[in-house]
Amino acid sequence: MKRGDWGEQAAADYLTARGYTIVTRNYRTRWGEIDLIVQDDRYLVFVEVKTRKSSAFAAAREAVGAAKQHRMLETAQIWLSEHPTALQPRLDVIEVYGSEGGPARHIEHIPNAFEA
If you compute the radius of gyration of the chain from its CA atoms, what whole number of angstroms results? 14
What pLDDT is stored for residue 98 in this prediction? 84
- Binned at pLDDT 50, 70 and 90, residue 64 comes out as low
pTM of the model: 0.87
Q: What is the percent of the chain where pLDDT is above 90?
A: 63
pLDDT for 22: 99
- Break the chain into its structural domains and give their ranges: 3-110
Give the strand pairing for 106-110 and 21-28: unpaired
**Mean pLDDT calculated for residue range 69-89:** 95
Phi-psi region of 41 (alpha: psi -120 to 50; beta: other; left: phi over 0): alpha
CA distance 114 to 16: 22
Q: Give the chain's mean pLDDT.
A: 87
We find that the CATH architecture of domain 3-110 is 3-Layer(aba) Sandwich (3.40)
